[in-house]
């Protein structure tokens, strides 16, 4: 392997011993593709297609501005945490018609970050239900869009009926620091959960 390519993040370092699969999920047009692209150290794989008038029959665009493309399979990115650990980020499509693909993406995933939009919180319940059915633990991040209602996190927690142990944080999927903090909240949750199960 060319060491220059490895140092530039094109290939995995030879020292990497563990890979962890994480899902980035949420309802339609909540910012999953943006989130994966913001954090990925490689050029992310995207399966976006241009939305057409025919899609208006199945994709609810109410309250969504300037949405011209949609993910039809998944987004994929990679984030190297250390010389030994790498995270693989899989963004799942948000529409109900992709539920079977969504369930397949859950295989092997150790956890998920659920992105939510305060103007469409009700759309998040199906996503969280699917994760719970698949047994995938998750944290929740409120993606702060320009012009969306700014509710306190405790009100969002109550509206989503989250367990006290479920992490809930704010984030901006366009900002690397903010997105990193959201991902850290998920990883901390998974580590603590694993530790508690071992006790």
Parse the chain into domains and list their residue ranges.
Answer: 18-47+69-197
Is residue 126 within 8 A of residue 59, CB to CB? The reply is no
* Residues in the chain, overall count: 199
Predicted confidence band at 57 (pLDDT cuts at 50, 70, 90)? very low
Torsion of CA 171, 159, 114, 178, to 10 degrees: 10
Whether this model's pTM surpasses 0.75: yes
- The set of residues, in sequence order, having a beta carbon less than 8 Å from that of 57 and lying 6+ positions away, is none
- Residue 77 in this model has a pLDDT that exceeds 80: yes
Question: How do beta strands 168-171 and 138-143 pair?
Answer: parallel
pLDDT value of residue 13: 79
Q: For the purposes of burial, counting CB atoms within 10 Å of the CB of 12, is it exposed (0-12), middle (13-18) or buried (19 or more)?
A: middle
pLDDT value of residue 145: 81
- Residue 52 in this model has a pLDDT that exceeds 60: no
Mean pLDDT for the chain overall = 83
Which percentage of the chain shows pLDDT scores above 70? 76
Torsion of CA 68, 131, 168, 83, to 10 degrees: -90
Q: What CATH number does domain 18-47+69-197 carry, 3.30.413.10, 3.40.50.720, 2.40.110.10, 3.40.50.300?
A: 3.40.50.300
Predicted confidence band at 4 (pLDDT cuts at 50, 70, 90)? very low
CA 54 → CA 28, 123, 124, 141, 167, distances in Å?
Answer: 16, 22, 24, 31, 38
**Alpha-carbon span 186 to 20, nearest angstrom:** 12
Mean pLDDT of all residues in 183-190: 96
Is residue 29 within 8 A of residue 93, CB to CB? The reply is no
pLDDT value of residue 48: 53
- Residue 56 in this model has a pLDDT that exceeds 60: no
Residue 168: closest CA among 183, 157, 155: 157
Predicted confidence band at 45 (pLDDT cuts at 50, 70, 90)? confident
């Amino acid at each position: 392997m060319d060491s220059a390519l490895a140092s530039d993040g094109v290939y995995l370092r030879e020292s990497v011993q563990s890979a962890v699969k994480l899902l980035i999920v949420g309802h339609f047009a909540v910012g999953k593709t943006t989130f994966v692209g913001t954090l990925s150290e490689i050029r992310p794989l995207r399966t976006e297609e241009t939305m057409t008038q025919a899609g208006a029959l199945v994709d609810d665009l109410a309250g969504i501005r300037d949405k011209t493309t949609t993910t039809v399979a998944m987004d994929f990115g990679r984030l190297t945490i250390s010389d030994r650990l790498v995270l693989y980020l899989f963004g799942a499509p948000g529409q109900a018609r992709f539920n079977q693909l969504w369930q397949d993406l859950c295989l092997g995933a150790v956890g998920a970050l659920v992105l939510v939009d305060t103007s469409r919180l009700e759309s998040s319940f199906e996503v969280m239900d699917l994760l719970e059915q698949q047994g995938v633990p998750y944290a929740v991040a409120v993606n702060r869009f320009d012009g969306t209602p700014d509710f306190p996190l405790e009100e969002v927690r109550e509206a989503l009926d989250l367990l006290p142990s479920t992490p809930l944080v704010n984030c901006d999927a366009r900002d690397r620091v903010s997105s990193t903090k959201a991902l850290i909240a998920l990883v901390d949750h998974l580590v603590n959960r694993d530790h508690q199960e071992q006790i």
